[in-house]
Amino acid sequence: MNMKPQKNSPSSRKLSVAVATPILVLLALAVLSLYDFNFAADSYQYIRRASSASSSTSSPPITTSSSSSASPTNSSVPASRVNSSSSTSPATTVEACDQTRGQWVPDDEAPYYTNLTCPFIDDLQNCMKFGKPSLDFMRWRWQPDGCDLPRFDAARFLDAMRGKSMAFVGDSLARNHIKSLLCILSQVAQPVEVVTTAEIDVTGRPVRRDFHYGSHGFNVSLFWSPFLVKANLSDSAHGLGLWDMHLDTPDPRWAAHVAEFDYIVLSGTNWFFRPSLYHEGGRVVGRNGGAAATGDGVHGATPEMPVSGAVRAAFRTALGAIAAREGFRGKALVRTVTPAHFENGEWNTGGDCVRTRPLRRGERDRDAVVAEFRAAQVDALRDTAAMSQRNGAELRLLDITEAMELRPDGHPSRYGHPPGGSVEGSFVIDCLHWCLPGPIDLWSELLFQMLLDHQ
């Protein structure tokens, strides 16, 4: 998001949020509404859901692998030039350091996959297929301060996840993440989708998708839950809709399945800008700024609450549900907020993201809204940490905010299209989601290292 730098005083931060919120409401609603389509028809195998298999609590020794070196090109890159995994190189030692602090440095290695080697890329993020003019966004690698971040080793990851299960819970950026992971793992194995009679959300999206790696007994699931807590669309007569958000009640569509998983990755902030009434204890306790503009204005007398407060409450409720769940002894990770990068206007006033290089650290101040949302996520994690330790669960922060703030070059811009679209077809400039392959592959690299560090 292209916003003026803000001073760090509390009053100026409140002012910046007040000014930014109406713009962000329109931005988040428009981009997410147009880009959160159902999965396109993918060219991978399907199977029918069998009875639930028990998850192993032990993991075998982890093998290591190496990557071949080549430069990323365009969609004609042959499969042989994409990084592949083997188990021949020595184990890589990861130094103790904060891998979320660093900078992007030039990289000549080939991407882990391309649009020809991975069948899971949605057209909306298929920047290679639709001719993004510069593919330099694939030629950068995250370099943490004081140590190295190992490249993702697909074979080692699948061995470590043998007999385990992982869930991603959130909005379309959670889907963006899981697609990245499936694409990276496609170097070694491709899953089959477990087909069920899927529950469809009121927004028209499937609530749950499941992918199974039969050779490793590894299951990956995606839950559509953009608020993490229970939320009902109470008024759809207006374009923005009105949501009843129950801040003290986890969304049962995913929370009822917590004990099925060894790892859970929670994310989501963008949908919180949708006009919403906040409920706690069965009564309305507040609203966001957009709620007063819907309907006949009857909600205008309801006190307005900061959107960041709703984010904090929702993550606290979601994490609390995981920590308190009997039978869950795994790890829950909160993936921090990732910014949009519209410049020279918003999505509907000529804004775009046309940069071809990452920003340098310190080149641009952190957006005030992004800073508040990340702080809300950190607070929620801190608030529930003690309970999780008592009950045997582990809560971790997958902090990608700083790294992704520096990557305005990694979005589809106008080079992503709805399923089945063409270059000349309809599109909306997207500076929120991420190209595949692209900078978002860092999320899986950091995720893997976090899981290895705490096994």
Count the Cβ atoms, other than its own, within 10 Å of residue 259.
13
- 45: CB partners within 8 A, 6+ apart: 190, 192, 193
Geometric angle at alpha carbon 254, from 249 and 257, rounded to 5°: 115
Give me the helices (H) in 45-94, please.
Answer: none
- 136: CB partners within 8 A, 6+ apart: 356, 357, 409
Three-class SS state of 206: strand
Contact 228, 320 (CB under 8 A): no
Contact 168, 326 (CB under 8 A): no
Among the listed residues 343, 432, 407, 417, the one whose alpha carbon sits nearest the alpha carbon of residue 31 = 432
Query: What are the structure tokens assigned to 304, written together?
Result: 């307005």
Choosing from 216, 411, 433, 444, which is the catalytic residue? 433
Q: CA 185, CA 237: separation in Å to the nearest integer? A: 43
Contact 244, 189 (CB under 8 A): no
Q: CA 276, CA 272: separation in Å to the nearest integer? A: 8
Choosing from 122, 123, 210, 430, which is the catalytic residue? 430
- Cα torsion through 160, 336, 193, 131, rounded to 10: -110
Q: Has 172 been annotated as catalytic?
A: yes
Which residue type does 296 have?
D
Contact 80, 70 (CB under 8 A): no
Question: Which value, in Å, is the radius of gyration of the alpha carbons in the chain?
Answer: 21
Contact 52, 221 (CB under 8 A): no
Choosing from 16, 172, 225, 413, which is the catalytic residue? 172
Task: Give the active site residues.
Answer: 172, 430, 433
